Structure 1
Amino acid sequence: MPNMNRRTLLAGAAATGALAASAYVAAEDKISVDHDMSGKSVLITGCSTGFGRLAAEKFARQGAKVFATMRNLPRAEADELRVLALNEKLDLQVIEIDVTSDSQVESGVQQALAATGGTLDVLINNAGTSYGGPIEIQDMEATQHLFDVNVFGPHRMARAVLPAMRKAKSGLIINVTSQLGRVIVPAYAQYSPTKFALEAMSEQLAYELVPHGIDVNIIEPGGYPTMIWKNSNENSLALLERAEEKHTAGYQALIAQLGGRTGGGSTDPMDVPNAMAEIIAMPAGTRPLRREVHPGAKPQMAINKVSSEVQVGWLGGSPYGPWIKAVHNS
């Protein structure tokens, strides 16, 4: 992405707003794939399948030192990655991290830092989960699980890596949210609330880390055919089995959708690792705060543009102004 910074991305969002509501593949959707990542150390959560697995393989093949993390080791997906790394002579190490575990987050990050001599260039918070259904039927077990994985997990990971990044005065944290972190579809349970929370936490971190030379980027994918749909269906059906009739009675039509949702169609999940690679390749301080990723509709673009303008207009002249303007490249 030549000469791309936050300001030009925001200008591009305004220019292409009419296209965002269609399935047209615009120029900004054609993500380049060739980036030399030699010398970069990258830790990725949620690497058993989906975006995390694809990113781990791609970045290692492009020369990065990759720490591919996942929960519940030993497991076949970890063995597959280890065999791949051995066969292709990739610098890829599998580490067990369940992002809901304080102890595993701390020990896993320390293991990665020990392997790099105490530095880490990039953290990618990719691990996530989903449920479906109206808000009323979401019990506290489901709600706490969603927030623990989707919000508290990235928080734990950021706290674990930031002392080393601040010491190095450099680093990049990429948090994977969703279109549904800025717009809302009914009956997607607490998924949007968790992704809205991660969006807010990411933006606040971005401001606070400006003095430390650390960038934060938010990747906002649309629908892609990954395992999140199958996992969401399983979570939703388990929730329905324990739900009380007094909560489900008013939502027959919405509940009928649960357990069979699919998404993404023929879209290519590699779009997301390719977008991450572009962000990583950009010079520090020029990276966009948000990157919308989908070949079709990106309804959050208009919201992102207005949000940026409001933040700069509200706080640009305050003592926080230099941080706000640096993040929005204003």
Structure 2
Amino acid sequence: MAHAKTVWITGAASGFGLLTAAKLAQSGYVIVATTRQADARREQITQFISHYTQHAVVHVWELDVRHEEQAQQIAKQIIDLYGKIDIVINNAGYAAGGFVEDVPMQAWREQFDTNVFGAIQVCKAAIPYMREAQSGCLIQISSISGRMGFPGLGAYVASKFALEGYSEALCLEMAPYGVDVVLVEPGSYRTNIWERSLEQMHAPEGSPNHYYAGKLLASMQQNARTAPEPDPVVNLIVKIANTADGKRKLRYPIGKGVRAVLFSRMLLPWNVFERMLWKAIGVVIRRNRHHS
């Protein structure tokens, strides 16, 4: 029996994940929305999606992406019910804030456990079924932070750089099997990832970085207030999901000024770019050094 396309979305309780689930349900997808607190969020998720369509097929299942066995179990449940996994959207993630020396090593490990190893485990759970079907798409929600560094977000940036490198290698590995791998790279949008980052900012009072961390925090708070709604990113994810296998690009940067910033990062001497970035935060860098 033929079924509608199935999509497995991690971190589906809010932000890009929840909105994407609703938009894809509206397009007729079977939605498998996973979150760490499924019992507490199930009614909220299904009610939100019902505002977009009354005919959605939605499963809200518990998944902590840090647990490999749970990811394997979710993949098997989808196969048992529908016989295929068409799209995986790795959206679960968060941003740990703070200067490198101020962020405890445990926080670094937790950042990578979710943003990197969690995404890897979900992909590894779905890949065997996609490979056998010779079709499918793995969509990784990355960030502009996966293409360039930002002060005070070293752990998050490092995790997104890792996700980008891993996904590029995976894209090459999956090409012979007809499975696409895609990186969506948003700039700043109004989602709760930045609220969590601001709440968990590692900026101890006695830190030598306290002044600069304060400047950075003020800049992040301003960006959070003025960031646009996430709809353009969600619409892009839906477009990618609806694109035929083999027709998708590897990278999709999106956001106001994102392409210009990436272009500047590539072309400008590092010391010029460095000063420009800090100036945008409100700090003047007077030293003169040259990096290739």
Q: Partner residue of 1:103?
A: 69
1:284 to 233, 245, 259: 245
Between the aligned partners of 2:265 and 2:138, the Cα distance in structure 1 is: 19
Equivalent position SS for 2:46: helix
Q: Partner residue of 2:275?
A: none
Q: Deviations over 1:243-284 (max 9, x none)?
A: 6x7xx5321212325766333525120111111111122222
Between the aligned partners of 1:258 and 1:104, the Cα distance in structure 2 is: 37
Check whether the contact 1:183–1:300 (CA below 8 A) recurs between aligned residues: no
Between the aligned partners of 1:91 and 1:225, the Cα distance in structure 2 is: 27
Please state how far the C-alpha of 1:108 moved relative to its aligned partner: 1.9
* Cα distance, 1:69–1:251 mapped onto 2, change above 3 Å: same
Check whether the contact 1:234–1:259 (CA below 8 A) recurs between aligned residues: no
Between the aligned partners of 1:184 and 1:276, the Cα distance in structure 2 is: 24
Q: Partner residue of 1:78?
A: 42
Between the aligned partners of 1:229 and 1:125, the Cα distance in structure 2 is: 18
Q: Partner residue of 1:154?
A: 119
Check whether the contact 2:38–2:60 (CA below 8 A) recurs between aligned residues: no
Check whether the contact 1:120–1:161 (CA below 8 A) recurs between aligned residues: yes
Q: Is residue 216 of structure 2 the alignment partner of residue 255 of structure 1?
A: no
Gaps of 5+ in 1: 1-37, 307-330
Q: Which stretch of the first structure deviates more once superposed, 78-87 or 156-165? A: 78-87
Check whether the contact 2:95–2:156 (CA below 8 A) recurs between aligned residues: yes
* Cα distance, 1:303–1:259 mapped onto 2, change above 3 Å: closer
Equivalent position SS for 1:109: helix
Which residue identity is paired with 2:252?
R
Between the aligned partners of 1:212 and 1:60, the Cα distance in structure 2 is: 27
Gaps of 5+ in 2: 268-292
Please state how far the C-alpha of 1:71 moved relative to its aligned partner: 0.5
Please state how far the C-alpha of 1:86 moved relative to its aligned partner: 6.2
Q: Percent identical across equivalent pairs?
A: 33
Q: Is residue 229 of structure 2 the alignment partner of residue 268 of structure 1?
A: yes
Moved over 6 A (4+): 303-306
Which residue identity is paired with 1:286?
K
Q: Deviations over 1:160-196 (max 9, x none)?
A: 0001001101110000110011011111131110000
Between 1 and 2, higher relative CO (CA 8 Å, sep ≥ 6) is seen in 1
* Cα distance, 1:139–1:266 mapped onto 2, change above 3 Å: closer
Check whether the contact 2:144–2:258 (CA below 8 A) recurs between aligned residues: no
In the superposition, the TM-score normalised over structure 2's length comes to: 0.82
Alignment of 1:30-49 (within 5 A): 39-49=4-14
Q: Partner residue of 2:186?
A: 221
Between the aligned partners of 1:122 and 1:65, the Cα distance in structure 2 is: 10
Between the aligned partners of 2:89 and 2:208, the Cα distance in structure 1 is: 40
Check whether the contact 2:11–2:93 (CA below 8 A) recurs between aligned residues: yes
Alignment of 1:1-330 (within 5 A): 39-75=4-40, 77-84=41-48, 88-117=54-83, 119-236=84-201, 239-240=202-203, 249-257=207-215, 261-262=220-221, 263=223, 265-299=226-260, 301-302=262-263
Equivalent position SS for 1:256: helix
RMSD: 2.3
Please state how far the C-alpha of 1:109 moved relative to its aligned partner: 2.0
Between the aligned partners of 1:234 and 1:302, the Cα distance in structure 2 is: 31
Which residue identity is paired with 1:200?
G
